[in-house]
Structure 1
Amino acid sequence: MKVAIYANEGRRSTIISQRLKKKFADTHFIYDEKNPDIVVTVGGDGTLLSAFHKYAAIIDTVRFVSVHTGHLGFYTDWREDEIDDLVVSLQSDNGQAVNYPLLDIRVKYQGLAKAVNYLALNESTLKRNSATMVTDVYIGGEFFEKFRGDGLCISTPTGSTAYNKSLGGAVIHPNLKVLQVTEISSINNRIFRTLSSPMIIAPSDWITLIPDRQSDYILTVDQDTFHGKQIEQIRYKISKKSIHFAKYRHMQFWRRVQDAFIGNEFGN
C-alpha cells in the first residue's frame, strides 16, 4: 500500500506526522506523496480540506483517513494517542470506504472561451465586495428568483454542518446526495422579495447563478477565494465524483453532530 501524510504546521501535528512516517517505514508501507492509495491527514477539518484539494485530481483512486490534534471534527476519527492502532488498521486494510458527495462548480468568466471547473467538499459562496449582490437564480434551468443581499451559500450534505449551519441552513445526513442553497442576509421588503428560506435541491437538478455584470464578486470554494474576474454564470450540481474515507471504525453521523454542537452536558 502507498501512503502519504498531509499535516498542518502546528507543533503537535509535526511531531505526530514524523512518528507516523517512521512507523510506516518500520512496517514496510510505501511512502508516495504523488500517487498514494491512502492519505493520512494530521490536524483538523481544515487540514483535511486542504489535502482534499491537493489530491482532487486523483480523487477517484485515493482514500483519506484523519488524525485530529485538537477537538474532534466531522472528518477526523483518530486521536493522536491512537497512532499504533491506526497503523494496525491500515495493515489489515481491505479497501473499505465511506463515500461523501462533492459539489461540482462550473464558472464562465468573461473573456474565457472555456468554463472553469472546481470541486468543493463543504461549500461554495458568491458575494460582492462592497455592495449588494444582485443575481438571477435558476433551478434546473428554470428562473426562480432575483436575489438581492450579501450573498448565497451552496453546500454539500457534509458541508451543511459548516458555514451553512451558521447561516440558519438545515443539517443534512451525507447519505442524501443533495445540495443546499442558503441566503446570506437577503433583502426583503415591499419592493424586493426572495424565498428567504434554505432550499434543498435534488441531485437531478442544478443551481445556476447569473449575477449582474459587475467585477467585484468574490467566489469561494471551501477555503479558497477567487476574485478579480467578471463572472458571467456559475452552475452548481452534485458531482459524479465522491470523496472516499478509509473507515475502520465509524461514528454515527447524528452522534457526531450531537458531540460537536450539543455535547453531553445536558445528556443523561
Structure 2
Amino acid sequence: MEKIKFAITSKGNQISNTLMQKMKTYLLDFHLEYDENQPDIVVSVGGDGTLLYAFHRYRNRLDKTAFIGVHTGHLGFYADWTPDEIEKLVIAIAKTPYQTVEYPLLEVIIRYTNGGREARYLALNECTVKSVEGSLVMDVEIKGQRFETFRGDGLCVSTPSGSTAYNKSLGGAILHPSLQAIQIAEMASINNRVFRTIGSPLVLPGHHTALLKPVNDADFQITIDHLTLLHKDVKSIQFRVASEKIRFARFRAFPFWQRVRDSFVCDD
C-alpha cells in the first residue's frame, strides 16, 4: 500500500503555525509522507480564507487532492475540525479510509477584444465584476439570449458553497452545495423609468451559461475569491459550473444546514 502524501497550509499566526508543526510531526510519526508538490491530502489550518488559498495553490490537481479544514478562529464553512481535536484527526487520517464529498466550482473565462487570447479561472466561492470608474454597464446573456442590460455597482457570481459569503450579504439565496448551479446577485443596481434590471438573484443550473458583455470601453476590477485582478480590453466574461470539482476528505458528518445554523442563527 502506498504511503499517503500530505501537505499542510497555515494562516500564518502563532496558533495556526504551532498546530501545523504539531500535525506534521504526528503524521510523520505515523509514517505518512510530507509532499508539498503532489499531496493526496491538504490540511488547511486557519479559516475559510486559508482554505481558499490552499484551493488555488493546488487547483491543477483537484482530481488527485482532497482537502481538510481545521479552524483556529470562528467555525468555518470549509473548516470542521477544532484545535483540541488534532490528535483525533491525525489518527483518522493515518488509520481510516476517508470518504470524499465534492462541491461544484465556478468557471470564469475572460475573452479580450484583441482576439485569440483568453484567461480561465476557477472560483471556490465567487467572482465579482466592477467597473474601475463609474457604474458597471453590462449586457447580460443567459444561455445565448440577451436577458438585460445591467447598470449598477457590480455583479457577484457565486458557487453554492460560496452562497453563504458575499452573495448572502447582497441578498442572495443560500444554496446547498449538492446543487450543480451558480448564482448571480446584483450590487446596487440602478432601477428607474429609463433603466431596469431583474432586481433579484438568479440561480442557473449546470447546463446554462451566463455571459457579460461590456457596453462601453471600460477597465474592470474582477475578483476570483480573494484574488483581485485588473482587466483591460475585455470583450466578454463567461460563467458556468466548472467541469472540475473540489473534494473534501470526510471522516465524520459535517451537515451543511447545521453549519449555516451555527454561523448565522445559533445563539446558544
Give the TM-score category using the shorter length: over 0.9
Structure 1 unaligned segments of length 5 or more: list them.
none
Matching of residue 147 in structure 1 with residue 150 in structure 2: yes
Whether the 8 Å CA contact 2:135–2:153 is kept in 1: the answer is yes
Per the alignment, residue 242 of structure 2 pairs with 239
Note the C-alpha offset of 1:112.
Answer: 5.2
Counterpart code for 2:49:
G
Structure 2 Cα separation of the partners of residues 62 and 115 of structure 1: 27
Structure 1 Cα separation of the partners of residues 138 and 192 of structure 2: 17
Note the C-alpha offset of 1:263.
Answer: 1.2
With structure 2 as the length reference, what TM-score do the two structures score? Answer: 0.96
Structure 2 Cα separation of the partners of residues 144 and 230 of structure 1: 23
Note the C-alpha offset of 1:146.
Answer: 0.4
Aligned length: 265
Structure 2 Cα separation of the partners of residues 168 and 41 of structure 1: 29
Pick aligned residue for 2:265 from 254, 262, 265: 262
Structure 2 Cα separation of the partners of residues 198 and 166 of structure 1: 12
Whether the 8 Å CA contact 2:219–2:234 is kept in 1: the answer is no
Whether the 8 Å CA contact 2:98–2:250 is kept in 1: the answer is no
Matching of residue 62 in structure 1 with residue 65 in structure 2: yes
Cα deviation code 1:52-76 (max 9, x no counterpart): 0000010111000011100110000
Whether the 8 Å CA contact 1:215–1:228 is kept in 2: the answer is no
Counterpart code for 1:9:
G
Structure 2 Cα separation of the partners of residues 131 and 2 of structure 1: 49
Per the alignment, residue 181 of structure 2 pairs with 178
- What value does the CA root-mean-square deviation take over the aligned residues? 1.0
Sequence identity percentage: 46
Cα deviation code 1:212-255 (max 9, x no counterpart): 24332101100101104221101100011110000101221111
Structure 2 Cα separation of the partners of residues 255 and 107 of structure 1: 36
Whether the 8 Å CA contact 2:104–2:242 is kept in 1: the answer is yes
Moved over 4 A (4+): none
Counterpart code for 1:178:
A
Counterpart code for 1:55:
Y
Per the alignment, residue 138 of structure 2 pairs with 135
Partner SS for 2:217: coil
With structure 1 as the length reference, what TM-score do the two structures score? Answer: 0.96
Partner SS for 1:108: strand
- Report matched runs for 1:47-126 at 5 Å: 47-111=50-114, 113-126=116-129
